[in-house]
C-alpha cells in the first residue's frame, strides 16, 4: 500500500506520515529531505543555489544515506531546498529514488509536495494536510524554542509564507492537492488528533 501525504511547509505532514508508517509497518520517506540534501551538497561544494548546473549535478549524485544529517532540519535548509526544487532536472533526478522507495515490500508512506500528483499518482490513499499560516508558524516556533534556537515567530511565519508561495507558483510539480486527495485541516488539532483523523480517512478508503 502506498500512502501519499502532501501539504505546505510545517503542516505536520512529516510527523503524521511517520506515525502512519509505523502503524502499518510501512517504509517512510520524508521527500523534503532529498531537496534539502541537494541544496546542502551544492553549498558544501562551494557552489551557488542559483547555479543550475551545480544543483542538477548534486541531485544526480545524491546519497540517500546522508539524509539523517540534523543540519537538514533548519529553516535555512528548507528555504534553500525550495530554491533548487524549482529546477525541473533536479526534480527529475530525484524521481526514480522516490518511486523505487514507494515500491518496497508492503509499501510506503511518502510525504512532500507532489507525491499524490507526480511521484505516486496511483497511491492508494492521498491526504493533503493543511493548517493556517499562524498555526504552522507557532508549531515551528515551539519546536525551535525547545531546541534552544533563537529564531522568532515572525521570522518563521515569513519563511513559511515565502516558501509556500515559491512552492505553489513554480511551473513544475507545484505544491497542490491531487484531485482525489482528501483534505485534512489540522489548525485546531494536536498531533494525536491529527493522527486519529488521518487514520479515519485511510481506513474508510482501504476498508478496515
Ligand atoms: O517538506 P520540507 O519542508 O522539508 O521541504 C523543503 C522544500 O523542498 C520545500 O519547500 C519544497 C521542496 N520539496 C518539493 O519541492 N517537493 C517535495 N516532494 C518535497 C519538498
Q: How many CA atoms lie within 13 A of 112 on its CB side?
A: 33
Mutation to probe ligand 1, out of 9, 17, 18, 32 (largest number of atoms < 8 A from CB)? 32
Specify the pLDDT at position 149: 84
Scan for cell 522507495, then name that residue.
101
Contacts of 159 (CB under 8 A, 6+ apart): 9, 75, 78, 79
Count CB neighbours of 51 within 10 A: 13
Residue of the CA atom closest to atom 18 of ligand 1: 112
What average pLDDT values come out for the chain (208 residues) when binned by 10 residues? 96 96 98 98 96 97 95 89 97 98 96 98 98 96 88 95 95 95 97 97 90
Mutation to probe ligand 1, out of 39, 85, 120 (largest number of atoms < 8 A from CB)? 85
Specify the pLDDT at position 144: 87
Pocket of ligand 1 (CB under 6 A): 9, 31-32, 35-36, 78, 81-82, 85, 112-114, 163, 167
How far does residue 190's CA lie from ligand 1's centre (Å)? 22
The alpha carbon torsion through 20, 24, 26, 28 (nearest 10 deg) reads 10
Specify the pLDDT at position 207: 85
The CATH code for residues 2-203 is 3.40.50.300
Mutation to probe ligand 1, out of 13, 17, 31 (largest number of atoms < 8 A from CB)? 31
Specify the pLDDT at position 208: 63
Specify the pLDDT at position 147: 84
- Nearest ligand 1 atom to the CA of 9 is 3
Specify the pLDDT at position 126: 98
* 39 contacts 83 by C-beta, under 8 angstroms: yes
Amino acid at each position: 500500500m502506498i500512502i501519499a501525504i502532501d501539504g505546505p511547509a510545517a503542516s505536520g505532514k512529516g510527523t503524521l506520515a511517520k506515525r502512519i508508517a509505523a502503524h502499518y509497518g510501512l517504509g517512510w520517506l520524508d521527500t523534503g529531505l532529498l531537496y534539502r540534501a541537494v541544496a546542502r551538497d551544492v553549498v558544501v561544494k562551494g557552489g551557488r543555489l542559483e547555479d543550475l548546473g551545480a544543483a542538477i549535478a548534486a541531485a544526480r549524485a545524491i546519497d540517500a544515506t546522508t539524509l539523517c544529517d540534523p543540519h537538514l532540519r533548519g529553516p535555512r535548509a528548507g528555504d534553500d531546498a525550495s530554491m533548487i526544487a524549482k529546477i525541473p532536472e533536479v526534480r527529475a533526478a530525484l524521481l526514480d529514488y522516490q518511486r523505487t522507495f514507494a515500491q518496497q515490500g508492503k509499501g510506503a508512506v511518502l510525504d512532500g509536495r507532489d507525491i499524490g500528483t507526480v511521484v505516486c499518482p496511483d497511491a492508494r490513499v492521498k491526504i493533503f494536510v493543511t493548517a493556517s499560516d499562524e498555526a504552522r508558524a507557532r508549531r515551528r516556533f515551539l519546536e525551535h524554542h525547545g531546541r534552544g534556537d533563537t529564531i522568532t515567530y515572525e521570522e518563521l511565519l515569513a519563511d513559511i509564507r515565502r516558501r509556500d508561495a515559491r512552492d505553489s507558483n513554480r511551473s513544475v510539480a507545484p505544491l497542490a492537492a491531487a484531485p482525489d486527495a482528501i483534505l485534512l485541516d489540522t489548525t485546531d488539532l494536536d498531533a494525536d488528533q491529527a493522527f486519529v483523523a488521518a487514520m479515519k480517512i485511510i481506513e474508510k478508503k482501504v476498508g478496515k
